[in-house]
Structure 1
Amino acid sequence: MNRFPLKTSAVLLLALATGSAGGYWAAQRQQSHAPQAAAAATPERKPLYWYDPMVPQQRFDAPGKSPFMDMPLVPKYADDDSAGGPPAVRIEPGIQQNLGMRLATVSRGRLDRKLQVTGLLTFNDRDVALLQTRAGGFVERTYTLAPGDVVKAGAPVADILVPEWAGLQEEYLALLGTQDPALREAARQRLLLAGMPPALIAQVARNGRTRPVITLVSPIAGVIRELDVRTGMTLAAGAPLARINGLGQVWLEAAVPETQAAGLRAGQTVDARLPAFPDRPVTGTLASILPENDQQSRTLRLRIELPNRDGQLRPGMTVEVSLDLAGQSAVLQIPSEAVVRTGKRNLVMLAEDQGRFRPVEVRLGQENGGLVAVLHGLEEGQQVVASGQFLIDSEASLKGIEARTQDPPAANRAMPSVHEAEGRIVAIGAQGVTISHGPFNTLGMPGMTMTFPLARPELAAGLKAGERIRFGVSQGDAGLVIEQVSQQEAQP
């Protein structure tokens, strides 16, 4: 009874072993053919050309060593991010999302500005009255005033005794009884020339008594800035007694940076808010823009007139000023956060097709409300990076991608056939002339030391190592070749 199960088990074991061996062989065969299938499925990438990363505009048809630097040439493929265009940084969409990158569109519109500055209240120097004596005399009485006191118009300041007026008034009273009007008028004119006010002359004529004492009063309402009168002192004719400043209107002195002064105009409305009265904004008028610029702070001074009907605005108070400045009606603008400010120039990261980004130098205008005007460097409808641009700028710097201004259309751009630069000859050999040169501006090539072949051997005649030269090169398949050389005078 036990022989049949043993036989059956042997058959099953043989079948399992056979199946396992077949599966292993099939798997091995499949793995051996996988690289060949993958190679057959992936097309071979063919370089478009080779280039030196330090001189990307120079192209070569075959690999080899760079004639500019001691490094091999780098292949450029058709699917590279910078093929057929300026050097750029390529970032995959998934990485852009992880970095939280945001794009902003260059738009055209009106960019009005609101300028916020801080100023100080001062006295209105146009509302000033000086109190003087018209004749010499003595101070009989003062009215307990001091500098800083606020007085009303007509408030008494001092009583002045003028002895000279007594005799003149007696003569005038005597002539009032005569029938000759010419004499009466002559006597009255003598009183006026002696400094007597017409109101006092009329009072003497009406009462028939002399009045050599006059009470000097404040001509306007305001604050006493200066008071130089004391009881018993002697006064000369024309001596100043008091200086009174009106308080009905005060001045606000503010300074505006000269770079932000465009759009200011005299007569425009100004909104002012005092920290002392935060719930009481004041509306004033820009009276004038003072003609002198402060050379230390590079600011323009503004004079703003503020009404002070209740007298609560005190000179010396701090005021926050808001000025609305009209901007241009159609100006290119981008978010201010999209600009990378290096201190020497302003850059933006221009977004192109297929996830390519490249730095572009821009010239900026006025700024307000998170937007800044772009005067040069961008075109309407382009997109710039508004968030994460600093990471792209760092990557571009590592790759040696320099920021350039926006290139004009190809139809309007004429590339010169000869590119010129200045330099100093390091050595002259069979391979050409080694020159430590400055930048080629028309090529966008920075200064460096490299060897240039000569287009004609006679160009090397008379050249010596150490000489300074100005030379021109042409760009061809063989690289940069010297076409012209001119010697320069040695610099002291």
Structure 2
Amino acid sequence: MKRLGGIIIGAVVLLGVGVAGYWFGSQKTGDSGQKTEIAVQKEPARKILYYRNPMGLADTSPVPKKDSMGMDYVPVYEGGDETGDGNHAASSFAPSGGSGQAASTGSGQVKISVEKVQKLGIRSEPATMRVLDKTMRTAGRVEVNERNIHSIAPKFEGWIEKLHVKTTGEPVKKGQALFDVYSPELVSAQREYSIAMQAVAALKDADDDTRQSMQQLAEASLMRLKNWDISEQQVQDLFKSGTTRNSPTFHTIHTPVNGIVLEKKALEGMRFMPGEMLYQIADLSSVWVIADVFEQDIALVRTGIKARVKINAYPDKVFEGVITYVYPTLNPATRTVPVRLEIANPRGLLKPAMFAQVEISVVGEGKVLTVPASAVIDSGTRQIALVQLAEGRFEPREIRIGSRSDNYVEVLYGIAEGERVVVAANFLIDAESNLKAALGSLGHAHPGGTLDAKGTAQPTVEHAGHGLPGAADESKPAAVGYQTEGTLNALNADGTVNVTHSPIKMLGWPGMTMDLALANPSLVTGIQPGTAITFEIVERNPGEWVITRLQAKMAALSGNPHAGH
């Protein structure tokens, strides 16, 4: 009995402790809930700036009102939000499936939540004034300096007796013997000069007229030898010897410069005529690099600009050069203009026909307004930049760009100095916020077509058979139709119908109940209120939406296009 009594007493004690704990916990929870309720009550109400048109039209109102279809205008709160819950959501008509992450406002601006901005990695930079230094990179080739090409072409007729330089590409030094020739004309001129000099010496005691005549004859013979490029040293040797030489080694032709033999036509024993080229020698201590500059960059190139040249054969070397000439012609096949650079080549590393990579540094003439090149969205017909108006709010602007550098472009108009432009993830903003809809406010109309409730494009045109005013006018642009489904609730006395439809994604409309006009009263013939329907709406005038096609849903599924007409 004592043991049973102890068990009962213990159970009573435990029960009392549990009841006390529950009572204290209830008190603490109640206090916490009261504090939370007080905190909620203390949060101030956000200020409404104005009410905007729910269809995105450029129409605002300082007081709440409805549009022509009975839809409430959407309040816009202080700070740019269109909801008053403090969550900084965009609009209930966000084009990305009503996610509230991005929206296009009626003014063409784009709104993205702060969380989405961070997730997309969006960065912006201000438009600034700077000098555009540009480095043009193009391809080129090494060519022989045409000023250093020498042709060996004797001015007299003769025969080659012996070749001293026998191969093309062989290096030669100035004064080196190329070949020996025999020429009867040269022998005759040499004899005349020798006889004239002997006569001058023999007539030293004769009268002045005789000595003067013989001296003129000697000078004429000497001038004839010099005109044939007989060197002064050879003439002096001939004068000292006083004899003629008619051996096959009468005369030796020497090279006038250092260089290499580019072309050799001379052969031992061959006869040559006056002016016939036997050797072509080029001095490669200085070479040309011909660079092909694209047509759009040629205005930046002028003589005197320094350039850097790299050759694949010497990846660790950079050759410095200067632009000496810009050719006046353009290659129509490549749309490039040749530009000539002159480069010193004392070691002979640069060989003719080598491939070259040319970098031409162009310094801008002054400071211009610039933005990063990544900020420009180029569609091919125009350029767009996203300007950050505030945190999470962007505006697409059409701009015109000028000259470019490696990382920046010049802005001619569309952006002011100091305005911030999006430089990273701007294409993601385009995808996230349906930027094309925002650009539509710049004055570009949408193409004609039908968009179903899922946003799929289906081209369509309003026909006269639907009873729309002016529908038969072919000059009028095709209207855009939007397909959806819902329920026919009632046929109103004023000829309109009351329908409940599903969300229309492309319009940013949520599912709602509204009154709509009919393009033709026969559209609802045979359809009773409460019937599930599919229908198409078209904006006949700004803010005025009419049903142009309507049929029962079961008829639509069965493929009968005439049901409901």
TM-score between both structures, scaled by the size of structure 1: 0.70
Q: Is the 8 A contact 1:49 1:62 kept in 2?
A: no
2:215 is aligned to 184
CA separation in 2, counterparts of 1:319 and 1:48? 65
CA separation in 2, counterparts of 1:404 and 1:133? 80
Aligned residue identity for 1:189: A
Q: Is the counterpart of residue 288 in structure 1 residue 325 in structure 2?
A: yes
Q: Is the 8 A contact 2:52 2:76 kept in 1?
A: no
Q: 1:477 to 1:160 in 2, by over 3 A?
A: closer
1:454 is aligned to none
SS in 1 for 2:330: strand
Q: Deviations over 1:203-236 (max 9, x none)?
A: 3222101135211111111111111111111111
Q: 1:280 to 1:47 in 2, by over 3 A?
A: closer
CA separation in 1, counterparts of 2:72 and 2:218? 112
- Which range is displaced more, 240-249 or 314-323? 314-323
CA separation in 1, counterparts of 2:441 and 2:347? 60
1:141 is aligned to 162
Poorly superposed stretches of 4+, deviation over 6 Å: 40-47, 58-61, 81-85, 403-406, 428-431, 476-479
1:233 is aligned to 270
CA separation in 1, counterparts of 2:301 and 2:442? 31
Q: Is the 8 A contact 1:165 1:191 kept in 2?
A: no
1:217 is aligned to 254
2:495 is aligned to none
- Give the structure with the larger strand fraction: 1
Q: Is the 8 A contact 2:293 2:336 kept in 1?
A: yes
Q: Is the counterpart of residue 206 in structure 1 residue 227 in structure 2?
A: no
Q: How do 1:184-333 and structure 2 match up within 5 A? A: 184-190=215-221, 192-193=223-224, 196=228, 197=230, 199=232, 200-212=234-246, 213-333=250-370
Q: 1:171 to 1:300 in 2, by over 3 A?
A: closer
CA separation in 1, counterparts of 2:401 and 2:170? 52
Q: How do 1:37-436 and structure 2 match up within 5 A? A: 48-50=51-53, 52-53=55-56, 56-57=57-58, 62-65=66-69, 75-79=73-77, 80=82, 86-176=107-197, 177-178=199-200, 179=203, 180-190=211-221, 192-193=223-224, 196=228, 197=230, 199=232, 200-212=234-246, 213-397=250-434, 400-402=437-439, 432-434=469-471
SS in 2 for 1:401: helix
CA separation in 2, counterparts of 1:403 and 1:225? 66
CA separation in 1, counterparts of 2:163 and 2:436? 85
CA separation in 1, counterparts of 2:285 and 2:442? 56
Aligned residue identity for 2:67: P
CA separation in 2, counterparts of 1:384 and 1:404? 20
Query: How much identity, in percent, do the aligned residues show?
Result: 24
CA separation in 2, counterparts of 1:335 and 1:162? 74
Counting matched residue pairs gives 407
Stretches of structure 2 lacking an aligned partner (at least 5 in a row): 83-89, 91-102, 204-210, 444-460, 482-540, 545-565
Q: Is the 8 A contact 2:108 2:396 kept in 1?
A: no
CA separation in 2, counterparts of 1:426 and 1:63? 27
Stretches of structure 1 lacking an aligned partner (at least 5 in a row): 66-71, 407-423, 439-446, 452-475, 480-492
Give the CA RMSD over aligned residues.
4.2
Q: Is the 8 A contact 2:108 2:441 kept in 1?
A: no
Q: 1:289 to 1:83 in 2, by over 3 A?
A: closer
Aligned residue identity for 1:334: V
Q: 1:428 to 1:154 in 2, by over 3 A?
A: same
CA separation in 2, counterparts of 1:226 and 1:324? 37
